[in-house]
Amino acid sequence: MAKEIDPITLQVIGGALHAIAEQMGNVLYRMSYSSIIRESQDLGAGLFDLDYNTLCESDSTPMHIGSIPGYLHGIEKNIPKTDWKPGDVVIHNHPYYGASHSPDIGIVMPIFYHGELVGFSANTAHHLDIGAATPGLIIDVPDVFAEGMLLNGLKLYEAGKRNETLWRYISGNTRVPGLVMRDLEAQIAAAELGVKLYCELMDTYGRDTVEQASKQLMDYSEHMLRREIAKIPDGDYTAEGFMDDDGRTRDVRLPIKVTVRVRGDDVEVDLTGSSPQVPTAFNVPFEGSTKVACYFAFRALLLDTYTNQEYIPQNEGSFRPVKVTAPLGSIFNPIPPAACEARFNQIQRVVDLIIKALAPVLPDKCTAGNAACLSFASYSGVRETGDYWVLIEVNEAAMGGRPNSDGPDTIEELMRNTRNNPLEDLGMHLPMICDRYEIRDDVFPGAGKYRGGMGVVKSQRFLTPGFMTHESDRNEDAPWGIFGGQDGIPARVRIHNAARAEEPRDVYAKFSGMRAELGDVVSYLSPCGGGFGNPLERDPAKVLDDLLDEFITPEHALEVYGVVLAPVSNGYKWGLDLPATEALRATMRAA
Amino acid sequence: MIRVGVDVGGTFTDLVLEQVDTGGRRRVFTHKVSSTIGDQSVGVVRGVVELCAIADVQPGQIDALFHGTTVATNIVIERNGAEVGMITTKGFRDILHMGRHKRPHNFSLQFDVPWQSAPLIKRRNRIVVDERILPPDGRIETRLAEDQVEQAAELFAERGLEAVVIGFLFSFLNNDHELRAAEIVRRVMPGAFICASSEVVNTIREYERFSTAAMNAYIGPRTKRYLDNLKARLREAGVNAYVRIMQSNGGVSTIEQASRNPVGLLLSGPAGGVIGGRWTGEACDQRDIITIDIGGTSADISVIRDGALTIKNPRDTEVAHLPVLVPMIDIDAIGAGGGSIAYVDSGGAFRVGPKSAGAEPGPACYGKGGTQPTVTDAQVVLGRLDPEHFLGGGLAIDPALSEQAIRTHLAEPLGMSVKEAALGVLKIINNNMSLAIASNSVARGIDPRNYSLMAFGGAGPLHGVALGQMIAAKNVISPLHPGITAAMGLLVTEPRYEFTQSSLAILQSAGKAELEAVNAVFDRLQAEAAAQLAADGIPPDRQRFERVAECRYVGQGFELRVAVPHGPFTAGSAQEMARRFFAVHRTEYGHAFEDQAVQMVTLRVIGSSSSDTLALPLLEKGGRRNPSEAALYARPTTFDDGETVQTARFDRMKLRAQDVVVGPAVIVQQNSTTIVPPGYAATVIKLGDLVIARVGQEG
């Protein structure tokens, strides 16, 4: 093996690996058809060595980053390394063989260099429909077999030749073959590009140098994370919350408990004490999702790319210091054949609880309670031609207040980072129309020195009868305030029909295969983040801004923030009365 | 005929003057003055007056003045634009606040969201009114509540707002409501800058269209004031020339049109460089060129394919993280330049940039207080930049300071020699630049082996050959005046106006009604373009029109630009467009599905007119090899292979056509230095540009 690579070559190869992953991700999302991939960028792509270590990965959606090694380990159970041939393409989505969840289909190609297997080029993407019990998304199903096609390490191409039988099988078992098959082609194109570019990199620098540089880059990323972990005092840090229900047994809360054990520069996340596995799809695949969430939490907390100037390579090194434990048979490590497709809300909460647990020792890096959920809405129907239309939409939420800034409003937070669908684009193609897409105005943001972010309200109207499944949570457990900040607001889901004079009715966060009538309007109101720090310390100018921007009322400014307003005649109605504010705040602090 | 080009950069304002006398004799003069940051027009006028003195002409003799400006871009970056109001559809007040709801950082909790923390239009000034247009045909579901528009405008007037945007959902299908609302607001606020989203860019996707209109209004009042100031100052200085402003799309426009549509000026600065690059390429008989303009803090990369500028896919056009759907030359800016700082990070990794020492304090060698080593310091330590020629000798530099900075901050911590560390700085920065070039070329199906790399900007020719080698370019071009290529480019631009309309149709199955609709849209857009050209005083026989459609596979979310065949749009032209789309798709992504339906999304007509070109005097023929008449002196110089050799300096202004300078050599001129490493040779082309290639592969 080559000796230690000089720091200059190391930077050069590190840059090249990063560029390869970005190009793979670009091809995948630009070529693809379904809005969940092309607009939302719900995908990941990268290169992996023979031990399935991540060498580089595209900067797309955090949920996918770090999940692909699980796929590779799972595939090995059916395809040992000796069985790979140049030109093979393997398709895989089995959640009990390392997949993140069944709709996230992985495409893997081996990389041969001068006839020898040297690594893998792989990507994952969320597919619109894999023939599950209900179109698009599922909640209330009995087992993993009801999730749709389970593709367990199958060769879609063998030595460059497509397996037409398998291709037709997949095409015949999705409700939207026109989108799914084209998206698969985009995935294959991205994987082929990775193979080509990795070989070119080896041509340029030599195989030994590339492999040695990869090892050193992983060590570097690991070192950077360990250094930050070591700064946290050793100890056990715990936080708890709960989920609304499992989507079938209503109003039975599911506890989530996170214990973070810091020992030197190692850290363990132990989920013992969380709910046992549930009888619906509301379980979390351990390898492909539970672990990935924990890896994410420490990168985001300790190697924040906004506060750290240096780019730290996205590779295996940042996973190594983090150990994840979840008892077998729990919601975070289910036993087959439990279904486990609807897992995003739970892992969002794991990340948020890791932040909460560590907040007392990381006051400058944490946040107040984030929405930490996901509204995943699947709308569908059958056109007059008999073809299905399916739309999966991700609704954003908000973040909690932060040490130096307010929580962002209406944003993709934590493990998710998709893009919304332009309303005008959807309106041109689907029998649905959006009636409202705004910041929530029925509640106030979580008050604090830095306030929580405001959530979204989105109302979609069916223009024909159809079906809808909603995977969501957090209608009950409000995001917490921290260091004197007030709690945020939980979510709400409401349905009404535009044609009937009736009040909107509140419904549960999760529902499966609901039959929608013409004119039904489904409104999602996302949670709002908790406040950070004492509201009486909030800069009065920011309180005035929030008032003028109609996030709060004059009464709220007075009662919660101790800010006294004075009428002005410049068209904005209100200005600050600073002396009165100082006096009021002094009284309120004393009380 | 006297024409002047003025390009304003962050540090310097570059000028070039061309005089053609009645006998057809041409003279060209160049000049450089410090930019005036508070009001760029002060420096512009000072430069023009000084240049006139140099050329011995009167300001009143100038016929035309072409101007590239960063005024509009700076307003966005510094966020000191107008207070803007917006009137929008009820239920959709916060489209600008939500954006595409994707956060700018994946692995971050403390990130900033620029469109929320520094919005172009504050929420308090976004007012909703009743109105509703419905897809897919644009029919009206709810009529516009005109009284609500009037009340909103009155409130904006009371608040003293300078600009107002009207943005309604689905206005790309039917903009009656937007135009009516704009009319009402103009009546209530006669002095304000007002625009409807469909007037600025009539395309599908509400956030991007609203953001573009908001940007236009945000920079509108200040940009107009700047252009008015410029006009007035020029008049005071006795300049009566007609003035044309460089636009992001590579064409020029009048002051009036630029004031109305300032959002078209956001790349006004760097666009001139690419145009200048294309023009230099023509002089060197090269039509396929990758340009890289290397300044102090950043490098701008663009690709010219078969003599044509690359226009960015409209889905990718962003300024300061905000989408701006206007045609722009595809220019990729990266944080790498002569001032980029090299350092060892806390984990021991060797880093270069993107942080820059800028002009103040500048590289360590300036002795103005900068102690951190920069790319320029590495060049100095390696003996590639001679103190007596730095900025024409106008700025004293101290090589000892460069060496000390590299020793302290790089060599010692990394346990290497100063020379190794300096070579490392260049290798890393060149690698960053070459990866960016690759992602703009190789990643898009462009094979650099068929392309010339043109490196300009003051620092460009120092890096040119190294970059050309890394990307395997055919050869490397060092333009005659690398430091003022952008100003030269201004003198070879043409007027160029674009008009767009979203109009969805499937190419392979378009019926009679759809074809008629497409023709009607094209006719209307062409009439608008013709009217604009006529307003600029261009007669019909000199007007040129080009038609482009942005197309995608049905169901895809990203469009690609496809040229539309000439003549009436028929079923045959639709089939031809589908074929062209497959070819573009294959180039861009490596694949094309020929059995799939292709959809036109947005139609675009570009009106332009050919204009005068710039002609530099032909050099006298030399045909010499390492001409002793141009040789200055020799100094030890270290090249990328680590070898230090005694290397001859040549005075670029004494080189003649067909002279060949064989490396190792350093060719110096005011403001710029061209490195010719061992094994390479530079050939002087007819106007003085250098084409550098491996020995044995010249020409």
Tell me the shortest Cα–Cα distance from A45 to chain B, in angstroms.
Answer: 15
Percentage of chain A exceeding pLDDT 90? 87
Rounded distance between C-alpha atoms, residue A282 and residue A247, angstroms? 7
Query: Which pLDDT belongs to residue B343?
Result: 95
> Which candidate in B89, B94, B101, B433 is best for mutational testing of the A interface (most A CBs within 10 A)?
B101
**Ramachandran category for residue B10: left, alpha or beta (phi over 0 → left; psi -120 to 50 → alpha):** alpha
Rounded distance between C-alpha atoms, residue B430 and residue A436, angstroms? 50
Chain A residues within an 8 Å CB radius of B113:
408, 411
| Contact predicate A157/A88, CB 8 Å | yes
Using CB atoms, pick whichever of A31, A550, A570 lies closest to residue B123: A550
Of B63-72, B371-380, B602-611, the poorest mean pLDDT is in B602-611
Work out whether strand B598-608 and strand B544-553 pair parallel, antiparallel, or are unpaired: antiparallel
Q: Which of A567, A477, A471, A489 is nearest to A526 (CA)?
A: A489
- Binary contact (B555, A178; C-beta < 8 A): yes
Confidence of residue B120 (pLDDT cuts 50, 70, 90): very high
B488 to each of A116, A492, B17, B293, B491, how far by Cα in Å? 54, 61, 9, 14, 6
Main-chain phi, psi angles of A133, to 5 degrees = -60, -40
What's the whole-number mean pLDDT along residues B507-522?
Answer: 91
- Binary contact (A304, B558; C-beta < 8 A): no
Tell me the shortest Cα–Cα distance from A436 to chain B, in angstroms.
Answer: 5
What's the whole-number mean pLDDT along residues A287-310?
Answer: 92
Residue type at B85? G
Query: Which pLDDT belongs to residue A166?
Result: 98
Query: In terms of domains, do B509 and B541 share one?
Result: yes
Whether pLDDT at B496 is above 90: no
Which residues are CB-neighbours of B484 under 8 A, at least 6 positions away? B7, B14, B15, B16, B30, B32
Chain A residues within an 8 Å CB radius of B123:
439, 549-551
Is residue A84 classed exposed, middle or buried when 0-12, 13-18 and 19+ CB atoms within 10 A define those classes? buried
Confidence of residue B699 (pLDDT cuts 50, 70, 90): very low
Residue type at A264? G
| Contact predicate A273/A255, CB 8 Å | yes
Range of A155-169, A489-503, B457-471, B550-564 with top mean pLDDT: A155-169
- Binary contact (A424, B556; C-beta < 8 A): no
Q: What is the count of residue pairs from A and B with beta carbons less than 8 Å apart?
A: 220
Domain end residue (candidates: B194, B217, B240): B217
Query: In terms of domains, do B195 and B128 share one?
Result: yes
Is residue B597 classed exposed, middle or buried when 0-12, 13-18 and 19+ CB atoms within 10 A define those classes? middle
Whether pLDDT at A409 is above 60: yes
> Which candidate in B93, B107, B442 is best for mutational testing of the A interface (most A CBs within 10 A)?
B107
Q: What b/e string do you get for B116-133 counting C-beta neighbours within 10 Å, with b at 16 or more? A: beebbbbbbbbbbbebbb
Chain B residues within an 8 Å CB radius of A302:
none
Q: Which of B273, B651, B696 is nearest to B455 (CA)?
A: B273
Main-chain phi, psi angles of B390, to 5 degrees = -70, 120
> Which candidate in A5, A8, A298 is best for mutational testing of the B interface (most B CBs within 10 A)?
A8
Q: Does B556 touch chain A if contact means CB atoms closer than 8 Å?
A: yes
Segment 87-126 of chain B within 8 Å of chain A by CB = 91-95, 97-98, 100-103, 105-113, 116-117, 122-124
> Which candidate in A67, A438, A528, A553 is best for mutational testing of the B interface (most B CBs within 10 A)?
A438
Q: Which of A398, A236, A315 is nearest to A18 (CA)?
A: A315
> Does residue B311 belong to any structural domain of this protein?
no
Each residue of A56-94: pLDDT tens digit?
999 888 888 889 999 999 999 999 999 999 999 999 999
Query: In terms of domains, do B58 and B135 share one?
Result: no
Query: Which pLDDT belongs to residue B493?
Result: 87
- Binary contact (B122, A299; C-beta < 8 A): no
Neighbours of B333 (CB within 10 A): 16
> Does residue B27 belong to any structural domain of this protein?
yes
- Binary contact (A433, B134; C-beta < 8 A): yes
Q: How far is CA B582 from the centre of its chain?
A: 28
- Binary contact (B591, A35; C-beta < 8 A): no
Radius of gyration, CA atoms only, chain B: 27
Chain A residues within an 8 Å CB radius of B112:
306, 405
Each residue of A354-397: pLDDT tens digit?
999 999 999 999 999 999 999 999 999 999 899 899 999 999 99
Each residue of A569-579: pLDDT tens digit?
999 999 999 99
Chain A residues within an 8 Å CB radius of B101:
396, 410-412, 418-420, 456
* Structural domain boundaries enclosing B515: 494-608
Q: Does B321 touch chain A if contact means CB atoms closer than 8 Å?
A: no
Query: Which pLDDT belongs to residue B698?
Result: 55
B557 to each of A421, B95, B154, B369, B601, how far by Cα in Å? 10, 19, 40, 51, 10
Determine which helix (DSSP H) or strand (DSSP E) holds B404, and give its type and residue range: helix B399-406
CA angle A368, A369, A374 (to 5 degrees): 140
CA angle A42, A44, A50 (to 5 degrees): 160
What's the whole-number mean pLDDT along residues B55-80?
Answer: 92
Query: In terms of domains, do B229 and B193 share one?
Result: no
> Does residue B292 belong to any structural domain of this protein?
no
Question: First CA to last CA across chain A, in angstroms?
Answer: 70
DSSP label of B652: G
Using CB atoms, pick whichever of A7, A301, A551 lies closest to residue B109: A301
Rounded distance between C-alpha atoms, residue A101 and residue B684, angstroms? 63
Rounded distance between C-alpha atoms, residue B7 and residue B442, angstroms? 31
Whether pLDDT at A36 is above 70: yes
Q: Which of A419, A166, A90, A130 is nearest to B558 (CA)?
A: A419
> Does residue B296 belong to any structural domain of this protein?
no
Question: Which residue does chain B place closest to A432, by CA atoms?
Answer: B135
Chain B residues within an 8 Å CB radius of A19:
435, 438-439
Rounded distance between C-alpha atoms, residue A5 and residue B179, angstroms? 64
Chain B residues within an 8 Å CB radius of A390:
none
> Does residue B463 belong to any structural domain of this protein?
no
Whether pLDDT at A3 is above 80: no
Chain B residues within an 8 Å CB radius of A550:
123-124
Determine which helix (DSSP H) or strand (DSSP E) holds A108, and give its type and residue range: strand A104-113
What's the whole-number mean pLDDT along residues B169-183?
Answer: 96
Query: Which pLDDT belongs to residue A1?
Result: 47
Segment 130-189 of chain B within 8 Å of chain A by CB = 134-136, 155, 158-160, 169-170, 172
Question: Which residue does chain B place closest to A297, by CA atoms?
Answer: B107
Chain B residues within an 8 Å CB radius of A551:
123
Query: Which pLDDT belongs to residue A251?
Result: 94
Query: Which pLDDT belongs to residue B189?
Result: 98
Query: Tokens 């496809």 identify what position?
Result: B562
Q: How far is CA A522 from the centre of its chain?
A: 23
Query: Tokens 């493990």 identify what position?
Result: A415
- Binary contact (B94, A437; C-beta < 8 A): yes
Rounded distance between C-alpha atoms, residue A84 and residue B16, angstroms? 63
> Does residue B590 belong to any structural domain of this protein?
yes
Helices (H), A32-111: 35-38, 68-76
Which residues are CB-neighbours of A327 under 8 A, at least 6 positions away? A271, A272, A333
State ipTM: 0.96
> Which candidate in A10, A30, A305, A544 is best for mutational testing of the B interface (most B CBs within 10 A)?
A30
Each residue of B398-416: pLDDT tens digit?
999 999 999 999 999 999 9
Segment 435-494 of chain B within 8 Å of chain A by CB = 435, 438-439, 443
Segment 559-598 of chain B within 8 Å of chain A by CB = 588-591, 593, 596
Q: Which of B78, B77, B9, B3 is nearest to B44 (CA)?
A: B9
Question: Which residue does chain B place closest to A460, by CA atoms?
Answer: B91
- Binary contact (A8, B112; C-beta < 8 A): no
Is residue A172 classed exposed, middle or buried when 0-12, 13-18 and 19+ CB atoms within 10 A define those classes? exposed
Query: In terms of domains, do B72 and B94 share one?
Result: no
Q: Which of B81, B85, B324 is nearest to B182 (CA)?
A: B85
Query: Which pLDDT belongs to residue B557?
Result: 67
- Binary contact (A224, B347; C-beta < 8 A): yes
Query: Which pLDDT belongs to residue A308?
Result: 82
Share the mean pLDDT of chain B.
Answer: 91
Segment 499-538 of chain B within 8 Å of chain A by CB = 504
Give the tokens for residue B639. 């090249």
- Binary contact (A179, B438; C-beta < 8 A): no
Q: Domain with B582 in it: what CATH number? A: 3.30.1490
The count of domains in chain B is: 4
Rounded distance between C-alpha atoms, residue A403 and residue A590, angstroms? 24
Each residue of B679-697: pLDDT tens digit?
999 999 999 999 999 997 7
- Binary contact (B349, A11; C-beta < 8 A): yes
Chain B residues within an 8 Å CB radius of A34:
555
Q: Which of A54, A31, A591 is nearest to A292 (CA)?
A: A54
> Does residue B26 belong to any structural domain of this protein?
yes
Rounded distance between C-alpha atoms, residue B111 and residue A406, angstroms? 11
Confidence of residue B535 (pLDDT cuts 50, 70, 90): confident
Q: In what order do the strands lie in the sheet with A492-497?
A: A432-439, A456-462, A520-525, A492-497, A505-507
Q: Which of A107, A109, A91 is nearest to A150 (CA)?
A: A91
- Residues comprising chain A, all counted: 591
Question: Which residue does chain A place closest to B316, by CA atoms?
Answer: A30
- Binary contact (A296, B504; C-beta < 8 A): no
Q: Which of A201, A227, A196 is nearest to A14 (CA)?
A: A201
Query: Which pLDDT belongs to residue B391?
Result: 59
* Coil, helix or strand at residue A408: coil
Q: Domain with B210 in it: what CATH number? A: 3.40.50
Whether pLDDT at A518 is above 60: yes
Is residue B78 classed exposed, middle or buried when 0-12, 13-18 and 19+ CB atoms within 10 A define those classes? exposed
- Binary contact (A310, B351; C-beta < 8 A): yes
Which residues lie across from A270 on neighbouring strands? Answer: A259, A325
What's the whole-number mean pLDDT along residues A201-222?
Answer: 94
> Does residue B352 belong to any structural domain of this protein?
no
| CA dihedral angle for residue B146, residue B150, residue B155, residue B160, rounded to 10 degrees | 130
Rounded distance between C-alpha atoms, residue B316 and residue B561, angstroms? 12
Confidence of residue A265 (pLDDT cuts 50, 70, 90): very high
Each residue of B226-247: pLDDT tens digit?
999 999 999 999 999 989 999 9
Question: First CA to last CA across chain B, in angstroms?
Answer: 35
What's the whole-number mean pLDDT along residues A521-537?
Answer: 98
Domain end residue (candidates: B608, B641, B669): B608
Determine which helix (DSSP H) or strand (DSSP E) holds B634, and give its type and residue range: strand B631-638
Query: In terms of domains, do B26 and B87 share one?
Result: no
Rounded distance between C-alpha atoms, residue A492 and residue A526, angstroms? 7
> Which candidate in A22, A24, A29, A31 is best for mutational testing of the B interface (most B CBs within 10 A)?
A31
Q: What is the pTM of this model?
A: 0.91
- Binary contact (B557, A403; C-beta < 8 A): no
B174 to each of A1, A19, A425, B289, how far by Cα in Å? 67, 42, 15, 42
Query: In terms of domains, do B517 and B569 share one?
Result: yes
